[in-house]
Chain A
Amino acid sequence: MHRHPHSLKSLTAVVLLAAAAFAQPVSAAEPPPLSYEDDKVAMRLVLRNQEQLAGFYLGREFGAAAVDKILETCFFAAIIYNKSYDVLWLDLDHWQFQRDELTIPRLKRDYWKEQWRAIGLPQRHQSTFGWTLLPETRDLRRDESAGGNVAIPMQPEPFTLTARFHTGPNRQGPVKTIVFEDVTCPRDVQ
């Protein structure tokens, strides 16, 4: 790193404070994560409140219009860790969101592209946003994890997420199903 080498030390205190702030974007107010674990897979959902979500993206210079688009949705993080020796397939199209027997459509990447086009979100922010989403599909190897955000339309009541994972190099192994019930969309914390 070559820019302003002499100013590095003088910046240290400020930098440490800033780094600490960014390293811990989730405050103590964060609700406990929904989690599942067995000997082959671990999965958890992280539901940050809207203030925390807004803080993350505003801190990365996203405009208010972009943050509003995110907060209009039910936006939460999922983290999956493959502990098995087999390939675990993350295919978001095999995840089902339901409430009162109603299937809730997931908001896919095309939805976000359209939102960003409508508000003219700069390409670099679109790129960053894309990397904060959970991959649409991924062949998780042993000891590999994938994490990122998933979005559905805002729900007034809790919903159920049924996450199905194919296994095996060619998706021909047993299907692993993990169900999270009573998932509540993040809302403002009063």
Chain B
Amino acid sequence: MSARRPMKLLFAMLLTLLAGPVLAAQELPAGILPLDGQAAPPLRLENLDGETWDIEQVRGRWVFVHFWASWCGPCRKEMPTIQAIHEQLDPQQMEFAVINTAESEDMVFTFLGTVAPDLNPLMDTDGLVTERWQPRGLPATYLVDPEGRLRYLALGGRPWDAAEYKSFLQHLTAE
């Protein structure tokens, strides 16, 4: 018994880890890459109403940090799925930072007003915040954990309202 008990304990700890918010690569939906957990870069931008949003102010929640531009085809395709998942997730569990890269207010208002009117876009007016985050391209989505660490990166546009992505996000926020 004394030999088996530490093994059981170890196994239980392993299960707990696996069930935690950070999933192994093989458990992730297609196109979701696990990151190393380094601190997220600063993110402080204004929305269309001139109100400032700061990622530091939403610590304690997962943050869906999304970079996009209206000229980017995959961004246009993905945006309605972000609108859909935004409606389905508890805002107390996941915050959405939908960042437009270097476009005018009119362009953003015109596009989002049609496909995602409930999203509150942040304006990276000169594109410098986007460059600081160094996404692999547009669109790009980072998932930042409640401690402010970069946990996952979505490669390109993803169908966030599809079952596997939805359950992945729900798994994160359930912890």
Contacts and interface: CB of A to CB of B under 8 A. Distances in A.
A4 to B, nearest CB: 8
A136 B112 CA distance: 30
A123 B109 contact: no
B121 interface: yes
Nearest to A132: B71
A130 B116 CA distance: 26
A116 B112 CA distance: 29
**Binding site of B, secondary structure by majority: helix, strand, loop or mixed?**
loop
Contact of B71 (A3, A11, A128, A135): A128
Contact of A2 (B33, B47, B128): B47
A123 B128 CA distance: 9
Interface residues of B, number: 42
Interface string B39-64: 00000000111000000000000000
Contact of A8 (B49, B117, B121, B136): B117
B121 A1 contact: yes
Given A2-B48, A127-B127, A141-B155, A146 B137 contact: yes
Given A1-B121, A22-B71, A141-B33, A125 B110 contact: no
A63 B48 CA distance: 24
B126 interface: yes
B120 A2 contact: yes
A1 B114 contact: no
Interface stretch (B3-11, B13-21, B100-108, B159-167): B100-108
Contacts of A142: 30
B119 interface: yes
Contacts of B48: 1-3
Most buried by B among A23, A131, A148: A131
Contacts of B104: 61
B31 A135 contact: no
B69 A124 contact: no
B91 interface: no
